[in-house]
Amino acid sequence: MNLRTLFYVLSAIFLGFLIPYLIATYLFNKEVLSPEQQLANAMWRGSIYSLFALGYALIFSILGLLNLAHSSVFMWGGYIGLMSVLKLDMPIWVAMPVGMIGGGLVAVSVDVIAFMPLRRRNAPRISQLISSIGASVILLSLATLIFSSTPKRFPQDSIDALPGTADKPLTWLLDNANVRITPIQIAIFVIPIVLMFLLEYMVNSLKIGKAMRVVAFNQRIARLLSINVGNIFAFTFFLSGVLAGAAGVLQGLAFNSMTPYMGATVALKGLTVIVLGGLGNIRGAVVGGFLVANIEIMSIALGYGWLSDAVVFSSLFLILLVRPQGLLGESGKMRA
Amino acid sequence: MLVVEDLQVGYGAIIALRGISFKVESGQVVTLIGANGAGKSTTLNTLSGLLKPRAGRILFENVDITGKRADVISQKGLVQVPEGRLIIAPMTVQENLEMGAYKRTDSEINSDIQQVFERFPRLGERRKQKAGSLSGGEQQMLAVGRALMMRPKLIMLDEPSMGLAPMLVNEVFSIIRTIKAQGTTILLVEQNARKALQVADYAYVLERGSIVKEGSAAALQADEEVIQAYLG
Amino acid sequence: MQKLRSLLILFVVIAVSLPLTISAQDEAPQIGFWEECETPTLTGDINLGVVFSLTGGAAIYGNPQLQAVQMAVEEINDSDYLGEANLVAIVEDGGTDVETSISAMTKLVEEDQVPVVIGPTLSNQALSADPIAQDAGVLVLGVSNTRSNLETDIGDFYLRNSLPEAKVIPGTVAQATEILGLENVAVMYSDNDEFTVSGYEVFVEALEANGVNIVATETFATGDTDFNAQLTNIIALNPDAIVVSALAAEIVPLLQQTRNLGYTGPIIGGNGFNTPGIASPDTGAGESANGVIVGGAWNIAKQNELSLAFSEKYEAEYGAAPDQFSVQAYTGAWMIATGIRCADSTESAAVRDALKGLKDFNSPLGSFSFDDDGLPEHEPVAQIIVDGQYRVLTSEEAAAVFGE
């Protein structure tokens, strides 16, 4: 099962990176400067997209609902991690889980405030969608008020404190090619994949994960099986918040700039990713994340940077023409 | 064991139950018979906690469970096997049974699963298959097996024979007899009144949200009006 | 008896004021057109509207600006630069957004009916709020607006002493080309922001004028945080310098990523780089900012007597070294007072005409004039960030960062 995921990730890279690369080089004689480095760039951008989209997909699979406040939870998780370092002097490996748990709690409060009252009244999905937009705006305004809109970043020494980073960037030599990868970028690549495997394991093998799948399949059955559906919802929101928080902290660490608006850029990308991967499909979210990142980086590498968004959305359009349910989506029922 | 007093349920302006009262004694098979739309499924769903009553009281083992959440009620041992064989299609047979034991923490879960497989050997053969790939009869077996995994004190069966071929209908009723023989109390809701009255000890007749007749199964089987309306 | 008394008073007044005027002359050269224009005959209070970003993201610029203006107003009143009249600052917070600055400007123009306003802090605030003053015929002096064409977009009641990018970049590029011997550079800019796009265009023009070859042009969007792909393209071409037109939020991650990818050469930036925060190890790019070259209106290392005197006094008063923004604000307040003094009037139009005719005004910014188009003119300073400090760009400083 997990090997299959890896296979899918590799196919995403193949589709999004290798094929355009080969076509450009051999058919159009267009040179890609340092493709190895660009591949590395695509890998960690993809990791963050995947991690972000995972939480989106998780909620969609369980509630059949888009939580448009997810990008604000992502931003809050990042800021909670940042504040733990700035104000409480926590080392980064403590601040990271703090940011994740913080993101989880913010997500649970989004559920309690924006979704629960509407769920109780059996409100239509569209009201819940609008309500989540409202929650997103409130979270954004609160963050602007508390953290101000001035860009902030993790102090350099918090990043240097990571094991093995004392000596600045590591340089990997691959057949005369210089690929520069900082330890933080390795962490950014490894952490989402570890989290993704944990999530898959949890959903497929643990009791609570199975309960989530039952809720996703049919809430009535879940209730009759003594599953507390409200708790499962809260837990799902918590998990998605944890994933978003991890993505937020990693994004802050990776790219050295955080503002309350950091969620806005990722929000649309995340949506694209899960539609591309197959709505509510966990593996699809990961594959979609890598695919979108690879397409973006490749379009920049080929010198069409200003077109990268257009390229991404055209690919989305093309893929949906061929597979309306998304790459890994199953037609008909969604599944966790 | 189960006492229902003056239960009223409605959906918006529609009144589904107009204050019904009935009892299920421990060890009995009680059946609610009635036409489509009489309020049978509404009754079960209200007992299960899926619907909230407007008025009335439900006592289970002398505890008031009126308006409690479904997951709380099923945990007390009042378990519904829902209509339409709502099995968890994307999970395997084995996983479906495991989910029946979701709230259990004892060590007998695996042996209970073995028991279900002994009782329904066809399920045992298909334990690794996705539940969605089972036949209708097998799905009904699985739904009952899953309910048994919850170690119910009172099992409520909602239209277990609906949509099944006549041979399978007999099979379902033989399953009900087996459960009864093991001492589990049963509340059976059925459109097939003839079959239901054959296995039941006591019966209530539901018409447009009210109980219009009750009596021992034997007595109702002989009742002219019942024969006219439901057995004819 | 009465005569004697008035004589006595006269004597006392002379005795007291004599040492004052003598000591004032000792501190020469002094800011202001003391000789060029007569002391005005005005009396009473003259209201000066002040709008700066005192809250929000731009508060890091706005608060020092306010301090500098208050310092200038105090000096102007204490020295009787406006004769018997007194300058009174009416301070409004312009926030960091457009809306707050509009309501602040409306209040000053309509309620307080001030003849002159100094501020607001940001170019987009000026573009939105200043037309209110323009319509009412109230003079506005911008002291930190660097966007091009504000004069034509707002109108004839708008003047500024802050150099637009078009006046800073050519000088910076010329000096950098000369000192660093640039031949091939790569250019990166944010293509969805008016300010950064106009900065980019000015850079291209200046690079061409200096015979520098542009080997690559990469774009990104405001709000982006990942520039690795574009930088990878650029660095593979091994340019002599990377020229960047971006806003502060994008600059910090961009610098960090450039250095992480192994590029150690010069990074030439537009006005967005003119924020001390960029080199801060906590909130900025820290060491990665070393080797950044940026033109500015002023540098603390600038050897100019007025500038030295200002820095000393500002630091004594507020406990921090002044930045470019406070120097411009300080100079701005003195310029307004000079306009009033030379016009001998508080009429907005008269003050504006006097101000517009200002030539060779000695200030901490250097010798300041308005050119024939009403654009500010003074010598910009090419700066280089060395060990987190903005230094004046010289070949010695460059060698210290990049080696020979």
What mean pLDDT comes out for the span B91-101?
A: 93
What value does the CA radius of gyration of chain A take, rounded to a whole number of Å? 20
Q: Which of A41, A149, A255 sits opposite C232 (nearest CB)?
A: A41
**Contact of C297 with C330, CB cutoff 8 Å:** no
What value does the CA radius of gyration of chain B take, rounded to a whole number of Å? 17
**Minimum mean pLDDT range among A60-64, A207-211, C152-156:** A60-64
Reading the block at residue A151, the tokens are: 């860009």
What mean pLDDT comes out for the span C146-166?
A: 90
Instruction: Give the pLDDT band (50/70/90) at residue C200.
Output: very high
Model confidence at A170: pLDDT above 60: no
Q: Which of A207, A224, A229 sits opposite B48 (nearest CB)?
A: A224
For residue A322, being part of any structural domain is answered with: no
For residue A122, being part of any structural domain is answered with: yes
Say yes or no for a CB contact (<8 Å) between A148 and C56: yes
Provide the percentage of residues in chain A whose pLDDT is more than 70: 90
Q: Is A107 on the interface with B (CB under 8 A)?
A: no
Q: Which of A207, A217, A226 sits opposite B74 (nearest CB)?
A: A226
The C-alpha atoms of residue B62 and residue B59 are separated, in whole angstroms, by 5
Residue C272 per-residue DSSP state: G
Which of A61, A210, A226, A281 is the best residue to mutate to test the B interface, defined by the most B CB atoms within 10 Å of its own CB? A226
- Which residue ranges form the domains of chain B, and what is each CATH number? 2-86+152-231 (3.40.50.300)
- Residue C163's closest CA among C136, C181, C145, C140? C145
pLDDT at B22: 93
Say yes or no for a CB contact (<8 Å) between A218 and B86: yes
C251-302 tens-digit pLDDT: 888 998 898 888 989 999 987 887 767 887 777 788 888 999 998 888 887 7
For residue A314, being part of any structural domain is answered with: no
Angle subtended at Cα C194 by Cα C189 and Cα C200, rounded to the nearest 5 degrees: 35
- What are the DSSP E strand ranges found in chain A? 170-174, 177-181
Say yes or no for a CB contact (<8 Å) between A156 and C257: no
Measured in Å, how far apart are chain B's first and last C-alpha atoms?
33
**Minimum mean pLDDT range among C136-145, C322-331, C385-394:** C385-394
Residue C147 C-alpha from the chain's centroid: 12
Residue where the block lists tokens 């289970």: B60
pLDDT at B85: 67
Residues 6+ apart with CB under 8 A from A214: A221, A222, A225, A227, B88, B91, B99
Q: Which of B49, B50, B99 sits opposite A214 (nearest CB)?
A: B99
Model confidence at C25: pLDDT above 60: no
Model confidence at B7: pLDDT above 90: yes
What value does the CA radius of gyration of chain C take, rounded to a whole number of Å? 23
pLDDT at C11: 58
For residue A306, being part of any structural domain is answered with: no
Chains near C with 3+ CB pairs less than 8 A apart are: A
Chains C and A touch each other (3 or more Cβ pairs < 8 A): yes
Residue where the block lists tokens 């097998």: B138
pLDDT at C28: 52
A202-215 tens-digit pLDDT: 888 888 999 999 99
pLDDT at A61: 86
The C-alpha atoms of residue C31 and residue C337 are separated, in whole angstroms, by 11
B49 to chain A: which residues are within 8 Å by CB? 223
For helices A229-255 and A207-217, give the axis angle rounded to 10 degrees.
110
The C-alpha atoms of residue B79 and residue B2 are separated, in whole angstroms, by 12
Q: Which of C57, C220, C226 sits opposite A148 (nearest CB)?
A: C57
The larger pLDDT score, comparing residue A191 to residue B94, is at B94
C63-101 tens-digit pLDDT: 999 999 999 999 999 999 999 999 999 999 998 888 999
Report DSSP letters for B114-158, one per residue.
HHHHHH-HHHHHTTTSBGGGS-HHHHHHHHHHHHHTT--SEEEEE
Which of C231, C232, C235, C250 is the best residue to mutate to test the A interface, defined by the most A CB atoms within 10 Å of its own CB? C232
Coil, helix or strand for B91?
A: coil
User: Phi first, then psi: what are they for A17, rounded to 5°?
Assistant: -115, -60
**How many contacts (CB atoms, under 8 Å) link A and B?**
65
For residue A110, being part of any structural domain is answered with: yes
Which of B48, B102, B139 is the best residue to mutate to test the A interface, defined by the most A CB atoms within 10 Å of its own CB? B102
What mean pLDDT comes out for the span A164-183?
A: 54
Model confidence at B25: pLDDT above 80: yes
pLDDT at C245: 92
For residue A84, being part of any structural domain is answered with: yes
- Residue C291's closest CA among C393, C161, C155, C160? C393
Task: Say how many C-beta atoms besides its own lie within 10 A of residue B82's C-beta.
Answer: 23
- Residue B70's closest CA among A296, A165, C106, A215? A215
Chains near A with 3+ CB pairs less than 8 A apart are: B, C
**Contact of C158 with C137, CB cutoff 8 Å:** no
Q: Which of C223, C253, C260 sits opposite A182 (nearest CB)?
A: C260
Instruction: Give the pLDDT band (50/70/90) at residue C22.
Output: very low
What mean pLDDT comes out for the span B109-138?
A: 90
**Contact of B225 with B213, CB cutoff 8 Å:** yes
Model confidence at C16: pLDDT above 70: no
If one counts the domains in chain A, the total is 1
Min Cα distance B191 → chain A (Å) is 22
User: Distance of CA B101 to CAs A211, A336, B92, B186, Å?
Assistant: 11, 20, 15, 19
Min Cα distance A160 → chain C (Å) is 12
B151-172 tens-digit pLDDT: 999 999 998 888 788 888 888 8
**Minimum mean pLDDT range among A172-181, A260-269, B78-87, C355-364:** A172-181
- Residue A227's closest CA among A237, A238, A236, A214? A214
pLDDT at C330: 96
The C-alpha atoms of residue A215 and residue C184 are separated, in whole angstroms, by 61
Q: Report ipTM (2 d.p.).
A: 0.89
Reading the block at residue C5, the tokens are: 């008394």
- Which residue ranges form the domains of chain C, and what is each CATH number? 37-162+303-370 (3.40.50.2300), 166-296+382-402 (3.40.50.2300)
pLDDT at C4: 59
A275-319 tens-digit pLDDT: 888 887 888 888 888 889 888 888 888 888 788 888 888 888 888
Min Cα distance A88 → chain B (Å) is 41
Q: Which of residues 188-217 of A touch B (CB under 8 A)?
A: 207, 210-211, 213-214, 217
What mean pLDDT comes out for the span B65-88?
A: 89
Say yes or no for a CB contact (<8 Å) between B86 and A228: no
Say yes or no for a CB contact (<8 Å) between A257 and C260: no
What mean pLDDT comes out for the span C318-336?
A: 92
What mean pLDDT comes out for the span C207-233?
A: 91
Model confidence at A168: pLDDT above 90: no
Helix segments in C27-95, DSSP class H: 59-78
pLDDT at C244: 95
**Containing domain of residue A68, as a range?**
42-277
Which of A207, A208, A224 is the best residue to mutate to test the B interface, defined by the most B CB atoms within 10 Å of its own CB? A224
A121-164 tens-digit pLDDT: 888 888 988 999 999 999 999 998 898 877 788 887 776 655 44
- B12: region left, alpha or beta (phi > 0 left; psi from -120 to 50 alpha): left
